[in-house]
């Protein structure tokens, strides 16, 4: 048991140092960030540094695949068809075409939480109490970042099913389990990725539930390699897709989602609230015994490439729920890029035993 005087939160938390260090821990501990699915976007950082709940991100689409013109050295056919014989031609033979645009919309997420010193008592009583606080808050926000990611993708998927014929997915779950048919197989995976057509080679990372990962291992579909930089072991499927295991993926009654992403499929911005971290003292708490509370606040923007947030964002931004304007709601999202192939995402739905 640790001995010595109790170190209080206000004794060790320096907000100017605490805030960036916690954010760094969050980025280090979120496997999604490390995998490259989330890509830091300086435009979103700049948006969060200013005002407003949403930001428009316009882009130009590729040229349409219109039929090309056959060149000619005569304008007589144009004169006759468009103006009548004998009328002078006053226009070009070829009518210029237009280029279309798309506008993606990202939304600000203002989040916070607080912890009392009593909850951190065990950490504060040990060696290096600051690291105890940092790691707990850093781990907490890493988990919340992943929760935001999953809620956002749930909303995007719901919109896709409702408005785009579910063209992101291959659903083999059926009504009852049939081994080799409804569960995870290499064939079912390939059928999910081919929803991207000849752009399927852009998919690089897959998120799976532990039950699905267990099936993959039983079927000898997983290779393990060591990352040259971190030294950590990385699971790969078919030798190229990094596998991230997370039980927060959608699952119910033996039906499981597997998500496959291209690098940068989700854009991520980080802002700085007016007062990111502070410690408050409540002398009247505990019948006068006193209490300290640590507050931590963040500004995030997680934006699925090719989509627009179409909800009416409340002050503070949408929450993770399924209600109107929330991240996990079909009505909050709309695909704005014209081609399915431009969305670096595919979904496989399986039923496991």
What's the mean per-residue pLDDT of the chain?
A: 86
**Nearest-angstrom CA–CA distance, 237 and 239:** 5
Which tens digits make up the pLDDT trace of 29-68? 777 777 889 999 999 999 999 999 999 998 766 666 777 7
The helix/strand count (H/E) of the chain reads as: 9, 17
Q: How high is the pLDDT of residue 3? A: 46
12-21, 121-130, 151-160, 164-173: least confident range:
121-130
pLDDT value for 75: 60
Confidence at residue 1, expressed as pLDDT on a 0 to 100 scale: 41
How long is the chain?
353
Strand residue runs (E) in the chain: 38-40, 54-60, 101-107, 109-116, 169-171, 203-208, 222-226, 233-237, 241-245, 251-252, 255-262, 266-271, 277-282, 291-304, 307-309, 333-335, 345-351
pLDDT of residue 122: 57
Instruction: Reply yes or no on whether the pLDDT at 93 is more than 70.
Output: no
User: What pLDDT does residue 2 have?
Assistant: 44
pLDDT at 104: 96
* pLDDT tens track for 135-151: 788 889 999 999 999 99
CA atoms within 13 A on the CB side of 232: 11
φ, ψ for residue 323, nearest 5 deg: -70, 175
Q: What 3-state DSSP class applies to 26?
A: helix
Angle in degrees, CA 233, 238, 239, rounded to 5 = 50
């Amino acid at each position: 048991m640790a001995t010595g005087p109790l170190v209080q939160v206000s004794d060790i938390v320096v907000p100017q140092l605490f805030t960036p260090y916690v954010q760094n821990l969050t980025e280090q501990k979120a496997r999604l960030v490390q995998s490259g699915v989330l890509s830091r976007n300086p435009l979103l950082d700049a948006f969060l540094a200013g005002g407003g709940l949403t930001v428009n991100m316009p882009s130009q689409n590729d040229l349409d695949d219109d039929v090309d013109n056959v060149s000619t050295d005569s304008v007589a056919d144009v004169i006759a068809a468009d103006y009548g014989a004998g009328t002078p031609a006053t226009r070009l033979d070829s009518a210029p075409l237009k280029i279309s645009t798309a506008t993606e919309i990202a939304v600000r997420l203002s989040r916070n939480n607080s912890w009392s010193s009593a909850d951190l008592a065990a950490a504060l009583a040990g060696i290096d109490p600051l690291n105890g606080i940092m790691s707990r808050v850093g781990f907490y926000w890493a988990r919340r970042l992943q929760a935001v990611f999953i809620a956002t993708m749930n909303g995007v998927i719901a919109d896709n099913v409702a408005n785009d014929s579910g063209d992101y997915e291959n659903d083999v779950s059926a009504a009852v389990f049939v081994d080799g048919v409804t569960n995870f197989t290499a064939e079912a995976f390939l059928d999910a990725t081919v929803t991207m057509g000849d752009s399927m080679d852009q998919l690089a990372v897959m998120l799976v539930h532990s039950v699905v990962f267990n099936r993959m291992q039983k079927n000898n579909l997983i290779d393990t390699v060591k990352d040259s930089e971190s030294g950590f072991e990385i699971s790969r499927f078919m030798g190229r897709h990094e596998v991230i295991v997370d039980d927060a993926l959608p699952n119910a009654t033996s039906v499981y989602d597997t998500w496959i992403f291209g690098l940068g499929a989700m854009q991520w911005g980080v802002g700085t609230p007016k007062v990111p971290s502070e410690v408050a003292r409540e002398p009247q708490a505990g019948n006068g015994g006193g209490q300290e509370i640590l507050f931590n606040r963040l500004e995030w923007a997680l934006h699925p490439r090719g989509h627009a947030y179409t909800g009416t964002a409340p002050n503070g931004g949408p929450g993770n729920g399924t209600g109107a304007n929330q991240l996990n709601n079909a009505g909050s999202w709309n695909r704005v890029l014209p081609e399915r192939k431009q969305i670096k995402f595919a979904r496989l739905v399986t039923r496991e035993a």
